[in-house]
Amino acid sequence: MKKVLTVYKNIGETPLECLERIRSERQELVKERLSYAGRLDPMAEGVMLILVGDENKEREKYLGLDKEYRVTILFGMETDTYDVLGLVTSKLVISKLEKSQIQKTLGEFKGKIMQKYPPYSSRTVNGKPLFVWAREGRIHEIEIPEHEIEIYSIEINNFEEIQTQELKKIIDEKLSKVHGDFRQEEIKKDWNDLFAHTKNESWQTVTITVYCSSGAYMRSIAHEVGQKLRVGAIALHIVRTRIGETGL
């Protein structure tokens, strides 16, 4: 039996739900100790490693592997989670961005940089995960920690516009796949209100490939790109395409 399984985590699944799905699909794993090495947010999909049995003792080795992602950034709005699974905190009326503007801004992320953890993440501060502080409306009471990451390369794959009705369809579909308590009903209402009142006929997006060290948050990169361009942005799609030497 393989001690390291390469699996595909679907949109909407938590890493634990993905792990339990794999366990249920493969009877030989029913009695084995399983864990995942490197989590993915519910709105992200892609490669995930599952460690089997004694390989769990080597977990730290797998957690430190470099990663590659394909990320679609949506401009013109912000959410409190920096992705689709969040409440809309601002919508900005913006002039059209030029590809050269985005390319220049992305270049600022190359190399070793300090990145703050997203407010909705599992990083613990004073014994409590950041997402708990955020849900309680007390995130302003603490200083969000940051950590060093390295972006080896960040390249534009596609730069295009998406029509409002198509964007609404994409977001509705993504939210419908999430289970558990992630404020879905409140978030769906928020998005519906935005689309009901927006005057935007289309929205700009850019799809990028990011090759980076372990620990880099794609949601934060999307948010920070929007901040630097002063237009706001969220991660619309996140696909992890590679962990170490293992890829799609």
CA dist., res. 83 & res. 232, Å (int):
12
Q: Is 229 exposed, middle or buried (0-12, 13-18, 19+ CB in 10 A)?
A: middle
Please count the other Cβ atoms lying within 10 Å of the Cβ belonging to residue 176: 11
Each as own residue / partner, the long-range contacts of residues 15-21 (CB below 8 Å, 24 or more positions apart, any chain) are 15/39, 15/40, 15/48, 17/179, 18/48, 19/50
CA dist., res. 184 & res. 176, Å (int):
8
Residue 149: name the closest of 225, 246, 235, 218 by CA.
218
Residue 237: name the closest of 5, 32, 11 by CA.
11
Q: Is 181 a catalytic residue?
A: no
Helix (H) / strand (E) containing 228: helix 218-229
Q: Which of 41, 80, 83, 181 is catalytic?
A: 41
Question: Which residue shows structure tokens 């879905």?
Answer: 184
CA dist., res. 3 & res. 59, Å (int):
11
What residues are labeled active site? 41
